[in-house]
């Protein structure tokens, strides 16, 4: 028996010695400028074309041809400029003087090969880019799309299209990009470690090294910040934000590009009526949702897009509340009998879908349910595991909570096409609105930016006028960081995190 | 030799049956990975494109045909590729296995270091304060949710004392908090189990006979009672090892220490069929191996079992 105890003790000692030796080497490196960012979604690959977490771009390793600025406008990145006269034939001029992390020059040929690989391995990139053919000549890349596709540059904002050197094959563990940082090591689901790339085309990064780590648990992220294991954390627990401020931690809360919304099933006999949709919309107390469910970390939504976007129209203030809802229901032919809402003598009951992966959505429905009850409306709430699968396969619901990125790349066309075109993948409500379809079709053929914005505004106005969707709030992106962190920018798109300007006190 | 061959054939048939059942269950769950692969939440795709990818991946074929495709590959020792990461399933499983096995072993060491002394002392000092303390420990240990215990440890050792990392992987220090969390939760059960097993053993006739023969108490306890008392503990241990390997997701998430458990939960959410199927087979083989190991332990711990085996031959 003693023998086993002895072996166990020896094993423990080895463990401890190993731990001590590694920690002391870690202390030696403290003299360098180093920072740890803790993100809330883990990734198992950093292959930019497969990683739905965009780690390579977020960690400053990879860059795309086009980027979205903080003003939510498209701007050149690896591509210096681009042009197209017909929206189908494009010429991109690749910036001179850029090298990959392995020292190879970035020219149109390298970009073409990178995009070709992305299209080959990712059905999403293939669907998004719709490229028919590409030709490379020096720094000029000419691209022909399968159809007139004016929003093509905005699709190149997507981190899936980050440019990498395809001649280096370790895409999964050590992709070779062009950003201010190069990959040191990657542990799937744990962390990506990067170090400064001294030949970066836009000037050296201020940090020597950085770690882009992952933890899905909000409390664990908070404690990592408090213990000094992390310098920047994404989405700390909202209930602890006041406590963080007392601990000299900076907290930033900026509206993101996501919109929480209600989908109305156009096949439901009740929801076909515009007045019913408007009645439900007026029952949504957005102010209460922002203040009490999201603790003030959201802005009330007026339409699908954040009002900062040039394609977001100005909306007239709407009258809201139970009395307004009652009027709409009356116009739709509903009555209140014995305290219950009825139509044609039958008690009305709405079936509402929600899901828990965004915890605020079931709470929003509960608030709506309590308001509706005051009007005598019965609502059955069903919580489903996978909302997309349920909506696609079933037709037995009246309205549903949903959440989506409405303009993730600075263009309205993605949301409008996916949601309102009859064959759109997100058209779960079976929307088929000829006037709106006509505007979207026009938008899909229009190249000139101002004209596109005008058409997108027109589409948003139709959606609002007929209440095809009810948009509730744009939740904020909340980031907490230690006092010594400098030049941190909470990007609305959440695409850019470790930048060349990010700095930290030694 | 024939016996081994028979057992092997039985095992293969069992694997096939299990793979078929799990395949059917996975496919019957609503949804598939197509929307994930096309990233419909951020890329404008059409319903036709979704259907085309479903056709390409043969998801529209009858279930038995889809199973046949999988089975053909399996017989070529190919578990396929993950739909999401495009990596071979086997390499995905093997890449996560070291983390899982390290966490499992470290938790077991913690469990043994707590439950053996505490269980033994509470049996030797029945109804004394040590016994009461161990009862309290077992009660508290099995009642506290492991994620909460983990958070308490992070607060104490990482935030307040600053002596251990709060999360991550890489050094031996990183394994201490997750293994302590898991080990304590496990030992709560084993302390009481070992205690009752030892008490039972101490009242056996052979112990009285050994005492009458003048054998020292120390020798009786270590070589007779303790050894035999480990049998029920090993039985439960064998069963809980399988769940420990696959069921430590909460701890893996909390400490950002991803192992096989977290990988399969992600795969289930994303309906990454090849990974789920590969995992089922991998864990089955592992559990069968653990059971064989437990059988061997029985034989070592209780010569009666070994001798019965010899008699049968």
* Mean predicted confidence (pLDDT) in A331-358: 87
Q: For residue B312, is it within any domain?
A: no
Residue A18: pLDDT band with limits 50, 70, 90: very low
Cα–Cα separations (whole angstroms), residue A368 to A129, A286, A405, B21, B63: 40, 10, 23, 43, 42
Residue A325 phi/psi, 5-degree rounding, is -60, -40
Burial of B163 (0-12, 13-18, 19+ CB in 10 A): exposed
B90 contacts chain A (CB < 8 A): no
Largest CA distance in chain B: 86
From the list B84, B168, B172, which residue is nearest A190 (CB)?
B168
Cβ-contact A416, A440 below 8 angstroms: yes
Contact B169 A190 (CB under 8 A): yes
Closest CA to A49 of B85, B162, B235, B27: B85
Task: Tally DSSP H helices, then E strands, for chain B.
Answer: 15, 0
Q: What is the DSSP string of A129-188?
A: H-EEEEEEETTEEEEEESS--TTHHHHTTSGGG----TTS--TTT-----SSEEEEEEET
Report d(CA A458, CA A454) in Å as an integer.
Answer: 6
Residues forming a β-bridge with A477: A254
Helix (H, G, I), strand (E, B) or coil at B26: helix
Domain boundary among B74, B105, B137: B74
* Mean predicted confidence (pLDDT) in B281-295: 84
List the structure tokens of A483. 């006092």
Cβ-contact A216, B257 below 8 angstroms: no
Count of CB contacts below 8 A, A vs B? 169
List the structure tokens of A153. 């540059």
Cα distance from B283 to chain A (closest Cα, Å)?
Answer: 20
Give the side-chain half-sphere CA count within 13 A for A11.
Answer: 13
Helix extents (H) in B40-88: 47-56, 63-75
Which DSSP symbol is given to A88?
S
Q: What is the pLDDT of residue B246?
A: 64
Contact A44 B263 (CB under 8 A): yes
Report d(CA B33, CA B82) in Å as an integer.
Answer: 10
- Kindly provide the residue ranges of all beta strands, DSSP E only, lying in A152-309, ordered along the sequence: 181-187, 191-196, 209-214, 232-234, 249-255, 258-264, 298-300
Whether residue A202 has pLDDT greater than 80 = yes
Whether residue A16 has pLDDT greater than 60 = no
Cα distance from B172 to chain A (closest Cα, Å)?
Answer: 4
Cβ neighbours of B46 in A, within 8 Å: 421, 423-425
Contact A128 B43 (CB under 8 A): yes
pLDDT in tens, A217-238: 999 999 999 999 999 999 998 8
Give the side-chain half-sphere CA count within 13 A for B60.
Answer: 7
Q: What is the pLDDT of residue B309?
A: 56
Whether residue B123 is found in the same domain as residue B232: yes
Contact B169 A224 (CB under 8 A): no
Q: What is the pLDDT of residue B305?
A: 66
Whether residue B42 is found in the same domain as residue B117: no
Q: How many CB atoms lie within 10 A of CB B64?
A: 11
pLDDT in tens, A476-493: 999 999 989 999 999 988
Contact B255 A418 (CB under 8 A): no
In B, residues 187-246, which contact A (CB 8 Å cutoff)? 222, 226
From the list B162, B168, B262, which residue is nearest A191 (CB)?
B168
B297 contacts chain A (CB < 8 A): no
Domain boundary among B39, B74, B109: B74
Contact B44 A414 (CB under 8 A): yes
Residue B223: pLDDT band with limits 50, 70, 90: confident
A228 contacts chain B (CB < 8 A): yes
pLDDT in tens, A134-174: 999 999 999 999 999 999 999 999 999 999 999 988 888 89
Cβ neighbours of A172 in B, within 8 Å: 85, 87
Residue A205: pLDDT band with limits 50, 70, 90: very high
Residue with tokens 């190149």: A156
Q: What is the pLDDT of residue A136?
A: 95
Cβ-contact A230, A34 below 8 angstroms: no
Residue with tokens 């601990």: A247
A244 contacts chain B (CB < 8 A): no
Cβ-contact A64, A163 below 8 angstroms: yes
Q: For residue B98, is it within any domain?
A: yes
Whether residue B32 is found in the same domain as residue B118: no
Whether residue B62 is found in the same domain as residue B116: no
Report d(CA A96, CA B25) in Å as an integer.
Answer: 55
Angle at which helices B173-202 and B146-153 cross, to 10° = 130
- Global ipTM: 0.81
Q: For residue B311, is it within any domain?
A: no
From the list B46, B112, B172, which residue is nearest A425 (CB)?
B46
- Residue in chain A nearest B223 by alpha carbon: A1
* Mean pLDDT over the full length of chain B: 85
Virtual torsion, Cα A117, A119, A121, A123, nearest 10 deg: 170
Q: What is the pLDDT of residue A71?
A: 84
* Mean pLDDT over the full length of chain A: 89
Report d(CA B104, CA A438) in Å as an integer.
Answer: 60
Whether residue B151 has pLDDT greater than 90 = yes
Dihedral angle sign, alpha carbons of residues A36, A42, A47, A51: negative
Residue A105 phi/psi, 5-degree rounding, is -70, 140
* Mean predicted confidence (pLDDT) in A23-32: 54
Report d(CA A230, CA A191) in Å as an integer.
Answer: 12
Whether residue B18 is found in the same domain as residue B126: no
Query: β-strands A34-39, A209-214: how paired?
Result: parallel
Cβ-contact A67, A53 below 8 angstroms: no
Angle at which helices A218-227 and B146-153 cross, to 10° = 10
Q: What is the pLDDT of residue B307?
A: 59
Domains belonging to chain A, first-starting first, are 34-248+483-504 (3.40.190.10), 258-477 (3.10.105.10)
Residue with tokens 């054939």: B9
From the list A123, A190, A217, which residue is nearest B38 (CB)?
A123
Whether residue B64 is found in the same domain as residue B159: no
Report d(CA B150, CA B144) in Å as an integer.
Answer: 10
Whether residue B276 is found in the same domain as residue B149: yes
Q: What is the pLDDT of residue A22?
A: 42
Whether residue A343 has pLDDT greater than 90 = no
Residues forming a β-bridge with A342: A335, A347
Interface test with A, best of B42, B112, B261 (most A CBs within 10 A): B42
Q: What is the pLDDT of residue A287?
A: 94
Contact A386 B31 (CB under 8 A): yes
* Mean predicted confidence (pLDDT) in B245-268: 84
Whether residue B239 has pLDDT greater than 80 = no
Query: β-strands A346-347, A34-39: how paired?
Result: unpaired
Q: What is the pLDDT of residue B206?
A: 84
Q: For residue B258, is it within any domain?
A: yes
Whether residue B283 is found in the same domain as residue B214: yes
Whether residue A457 has pLDDT greater than 70 = yes
A128 contacts chain B (CB < 8 A): yes
pLDDT in tens, A268-309: 999 999 999 999 999 999 999 999 999 999 999 999 999 989
Cβ-contact A454, A207 below 8 angstroms: no
- Residue in chain B nearest A159 by alpha carbon: B42
Virtual torsion, Cα A168, A92, A308, A284, nearest 10 deg: -60
Domain containing B58 equals 2-74
A237 contacts chain B (CB < 8 A): no
* Mean predicted confidence (pLDDT) in A422-436: 92
Q: What is the pLDDT of residue A480?
A: 95
Q: For residue B83, is it within any domain?
A: no
Whether residue B28 is found in the same domain as residue B105: no
* Mean predicted confidence (pLDDT) in B62-81: 88
Domain boundary among B74, B103, B129: B74
Cβ neighbours of B162 in A, within 8 Å: 227-228
* Domain total in chain B: 2
Contact B172 A16 (CB under 8 A): yes
In A, residues 140-179, which contact B (CB 8 Å cutoff)? 158, 160, 172
Q: For residue B235, is it within any domain?
A: yes
Q: What is the pLDDT of residue A280?
A: 95
From the list A8, A19, A123, which residue is nearest B37 (CB)?
A123
From the list B39, B92, B262, which residue is nearest A124 (CB)?
B39
Closest CA to A99 of A109, A107, A90: A107
From the list B53, B173, B257, which residue is nearest A123 (CB)?
B53
Cα distance from A217 to chain B (closest Cα, Å)?
Answer: 6
Cβ neighbours of B147 in A, within 8 Å: 217
Cβ neighbours of B37 in A, within 8 Å: 122-124
Percent of chain A with pLDDT over 70: 94
Report d(CA A178, CA A164) in Å as an integer.
Answer: 7
Cβ-contact A78, A178 below 8 angstroms: yes
Q: What is the pLDDT of residue B1?
A: 67
Percent of chain B with pLDDT over 90: 19
* Predicted structure pTM score: 0.85
Contact B173 A423 (CB under 8 A): no
Interface test with B, best of A425, A444, A493 (most B CBs within 10 A): A425
Whether residue B101 is found in the same domain as residue B153: yes
Whether residue B20 is found in the same domain as residue B155: no
pLDDT in tens, A35-84: 999 999 889 899 998 888 899 999 999 999 999 988 888 899 999 999 99
In B, residues 149-168, which contact A (CB 8 Å cutoff)? 151, 154-155, 158-159, 162, 165-168
Q: How many CB atoms lie within 10 A of CB B86?
A: 16
Q: What is the pLDDT of residue B295?
A: 79
Q: What is the DSSP string of A383-399?
A: EES-HHHHHHH----SE
Q: What is the pLDDT of residue B247?
A: 61
Which DSSP symbol is given to A99?
B
Cβ-contact A263, A419 below 8 angstroms: no
Report d(CA A97, CA B133) in Å as an integer.
Answer: 71
Stronger pLDDT, B284 or A461, i.e. the higher one: A461
Q: For residue B81, is it within any domain?
A: no
Residue A1: pLDDT band with limits 50, 70, 90: very low
Cβ neighbours of A125 in B, within 8 Å: 43
Q: For residue B9, is it within any domain?
A: yes
Residues forming a β-bridge with A214: A39
Whether residue B162 is found in the same domain as residue B52: no
Q: What is the pLDDT of residue A25?
A: 44
| CATH for B204 | 1.10.3720.10
Whether residue A20 has pLDDT greater than 50 = no
Report d(CA A406, CA A259) in Å as an integer.
Answer: 7
């Amino acid at each position: 028996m003693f023998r086993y105890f002895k072996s166990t003790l020896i094993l423990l000692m080895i463990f401890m010695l190993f731990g001590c030796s590694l920690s002391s080497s870690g202390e030696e490196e403290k003299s360098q400028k180093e920072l740890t960012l803790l993100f809330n979604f883990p990734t198992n690959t950093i292959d930019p074309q497969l990683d739905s977490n965009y780690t390579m771009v977020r960690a400053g390793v990879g860059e795309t041809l086009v980027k979205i600025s903080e003003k939510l406008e498209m701007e050149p990145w690896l591509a210096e400029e681009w042009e197209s006269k017909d929206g189908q034939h494009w010429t991109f001029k690749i910036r001179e003087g850029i090298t990959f992390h392995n020292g190879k020059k970035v020219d149109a040929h390298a970009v073409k090969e990178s995009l070709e690989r992305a299209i080959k391995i990712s059905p999403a990139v293939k669907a998004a880019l719709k490229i028919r053919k590409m030709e490379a000549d020096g720094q000029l890349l000419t691209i022909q799309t399968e159809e007139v596709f004016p929003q093509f540059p905005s699709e190149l904002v997507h981190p899936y299209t980050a440019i990498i050197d395809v001649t280096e094959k370790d895409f999964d563990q050590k992709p070779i990009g062009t950003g201010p940082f190069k990959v040191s090591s990657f542990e799937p689901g744990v962390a990506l470690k990067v170090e400064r790339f001294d030949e970066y085309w836009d000037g050296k990064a201020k940090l020597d090294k950085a770690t882009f780590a992952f933890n899905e648990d909000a409390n664990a992220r908070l404690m990592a910040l408090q213990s000094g294991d992390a310098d920047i954390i994404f989405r700390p627990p909202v209930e602890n934000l006041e406590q963080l401020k007392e601990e000299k931690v900076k907290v930033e809360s900026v509206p993101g590009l996501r919109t929480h919304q209600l989908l109305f099933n156009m096949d439901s006999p009740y929801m076909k009526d515009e007045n019913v949709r408007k009645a439900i919309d007026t029952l949504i107390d957005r102010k209460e949702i922002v203040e009490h469910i999201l603790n003030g970390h959201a802005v009330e939504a007026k339409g699908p897009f954040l009002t900062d976007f040039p394609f977001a129209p100005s909306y007239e203030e709407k009258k809201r509340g139970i009395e307004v809802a009652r009027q709409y229901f009356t116009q739709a032919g509903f009555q209140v009998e014995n305290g219950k809402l009825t139509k044609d003598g039958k008690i009305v009951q709405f079936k509402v879908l929600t899901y828990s992966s965004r915890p605020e959505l079931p709470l929003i429905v509960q608030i709506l349910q309590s308001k509706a009850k005051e009007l005598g409306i019965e609502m059955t709430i069903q919580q489903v595991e996978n909302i997309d699968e349920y909506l696609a396969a079933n037709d037995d619901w009246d309205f549903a909570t949903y959440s989506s990125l409405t303009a993730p790349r600075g263009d309205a066309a993605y949301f409008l096409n996916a949601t309102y075109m009859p064959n759109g993948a997100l058209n779960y409500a079976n929307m088929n609105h000829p006037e709106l379809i006509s505007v979207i079709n026009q938008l899909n053929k229009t190249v000139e930016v101002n004209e596109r914005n005008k058409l997108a505004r027109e589409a948003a106005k139709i959606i609002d006028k007929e209440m095809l969707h009810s948009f509730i709030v744009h939740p904020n992106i909340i980031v907490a960081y230690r006092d010594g962190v400098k030049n941190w920018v909470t990007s609305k798109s959440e695409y850019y995190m470790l930048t060349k300007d990010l700095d930290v006190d030694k | 030799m024939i016996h081994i061959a028979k057992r092997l054939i039985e095992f293969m048939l069992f694997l096939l049956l299990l793979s078929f059942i799990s395949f059917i269950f996975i496919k019957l769950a609503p949804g598939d990975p197509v929307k994930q692969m096309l990233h419909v939440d951020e890329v404008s795709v059409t319903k036709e494109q979704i259907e085309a990818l479903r056709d390409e991946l043969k998801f529209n074929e009858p279930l038995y045909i889809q199973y046949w495709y999988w089975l053909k590959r399996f017989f070529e020792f190919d578990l396929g590729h993950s739909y999401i990461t495009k990596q071979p399933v086997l390499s995905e499983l093997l890449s996560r296995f070291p983390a899982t096995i390290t966490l499992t072993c470290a938790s077991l060491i913690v469990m043994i270091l707590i439950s053996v002394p505490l269980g033994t002392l509470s049996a030797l000092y029945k109804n004394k304060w040590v016994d009461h303390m161990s009862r309290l420990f077992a009660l508290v240990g099995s009642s506290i949710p492991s994620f909460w215990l983990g958070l308490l440890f992070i607060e104490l050792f990482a935030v307040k004392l600053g002596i251990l990392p709060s999360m991550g992987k890489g050094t031996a220090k990183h394994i201490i908090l997750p293994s302590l969390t898991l080990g304590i939760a496990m030992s709560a059960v084993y302390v009481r189990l070992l205690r009752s097993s030892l008490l039972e053993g101490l009242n056996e006739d052979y112990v009285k006979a050994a005492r009458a023969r003048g054998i020292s108490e120390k020798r009786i306890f270590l070589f007779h009672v303790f050894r035999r008392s480990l049998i029920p503990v090993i039985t439960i241990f064998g069963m809980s090892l399988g769940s420990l390997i696959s069921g430590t997701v909460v701890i893996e998430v909390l400490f950002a220490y991803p192992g096989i458990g977290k990988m399969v939960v992600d795969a289930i959410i994303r309906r990454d069929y090849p990974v789920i199927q590969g995992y089922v087979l991998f864990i089955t083989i592992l559990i069968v191996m653990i059971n064989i190991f437990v059988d061997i332990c029985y034989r070592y711990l209780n010569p009666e079992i070994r001798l019965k085996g010899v008699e049968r031959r």
